[in-house]
Amino acid sequence: LTQCLPYVRTATSPRENCSLGPREQVNQATSFLDASHIYGSTVERASKLRAYRNGFLLTQQSSHYNTLLTITNDGTCMSNQSSQRCFLSGGELTNFISYTNCTTYDMIINVGWDDEKLFQESRRIIIAQIQHITYNEFLPIIVGKNKLRQYGIKLQHNDYDSDYDLKVDATALNEYASAVGLFYYSLFSDQMTFYEDNDGNRKAQKSWSTLLNDPGLLYNGKIDIILRFLLLETIRKPGLHMNKYFKNEFLRGKGNYGIDLAAVIIQMGRDHGIPGYTAFRSACGLRRPANFTDLDDI
């Protein structure tokens, strides 16, 4: 029986304008919708992904004629198959690598563009598409269309938007990055469904513990199964719940035990000094509850 779970405190960061106050933490993810989950957040990371030929990103061909990402040698892969190595960018669940190269290929018609120009223009298009998907498809489901209109972030149906302001601080709130923003873990179903065809005929269900961090599906030409799951399976309603994998087997790999992700998130909130729920009610202009009865209307 495991009594303790490993936890490494988050590295600290200077506060805005280097002012004195509570400590802040470093976030490895950027606050911008800049496709950093594809290209990375550093020049070094991006350079490892690039082929430096016609603006393409590095890929490899599998025995099933699927285009795969380049592999990693950093030891982070936890596959049970020693002959199958994980991918340099696949760990971030990117679905845009092949699409990025297709976009780049279409722009090779511009004979005056070199590798750098093709890469940067393709990157701009991918970033714009990710921003559009986020604001046009994801946010309306999560926060509601009325809230998008209320805060003036609803997309226009035509014309261009010139509201972007370089002077606005785009830093994500610590409370969002280490608590609220992690709600997406509650969206995962208990198992991954394998669909036999595009009509939604079910084939089998697999536990997340046998799939995550295991590149076997990709090596075996099962990319279509993953895409069908993403297209056909509904997400769970957001809430205070997690499936069995995230609660008991997260990052288990070849070890004897996994990590309780919910417990880690709670501990991270303590590490970062995140205030309690009542403090946020006050910050949002709501009445601060004095007893449990005051919470009956929630």
Q: Residues for the chain: how many in total?
A: 298
Report d(CA 36, CA 21) in Å as an integer.
30
114 in a structural domain = yes
Alpha-carbon distances, residue 156 vs 106, 138, 161, 214, 251 (angstroms): 27, 16, 8, 41, 41
247 in a structural domain = no
Q: What is the mean pLDDT of the chain?
A: 80
112 in a structural domain = yes
Tell me phi and psi for residue 89, to 5 degrees.
-115, -10
What pLDDT does residue 65 have? Answer: 45
Helix or strand holding residue 206 (H, E): strand 202-207
The pTM of the full predicted model, rounded to 2 decimals, is 0.78
What pLDDT does residue 110 have? Answer: 95
Of 191, 255, 259, give the one whose Cα is nearest residue 229.
191
What pLDDT does residue 122 have? Answer: 94
Q: Are 258 and 248 in contact (CB under 8 A)?
A: yes
Q: What is the mean pLDDT of residues 201-224?
A: 70
242 in a structural domain = no
Encode pLDDT of 216-249 as tens digits.
666 666 677 777 888 888 888 888 888 888 888 7
Residue 153 scores a pLDDT above 90? no
298 in a structural domain = no
Copy the structure tokens of residue 45.
């990371």
85 in a structural domain = yes
Which domain, by its residues, includes 116?
29-158
133 in a structural domain = yes
Residue 80 scores a pLDDT above 50? yes
Count of domains forming the chain: 1
77 in a structural domain = yes
Residue written as token pair 């149906």 = 157
Residue 8 scores a pLDDT above 50? yes
Report d(CA 43, CA 24) in Å as an integer.
25
**How confident is residue 77, by pLDDT bands cut at 50, 70 and 90?**
low
Q: Are 67 and 98 in contact (CB under 8 A)?
A: yes
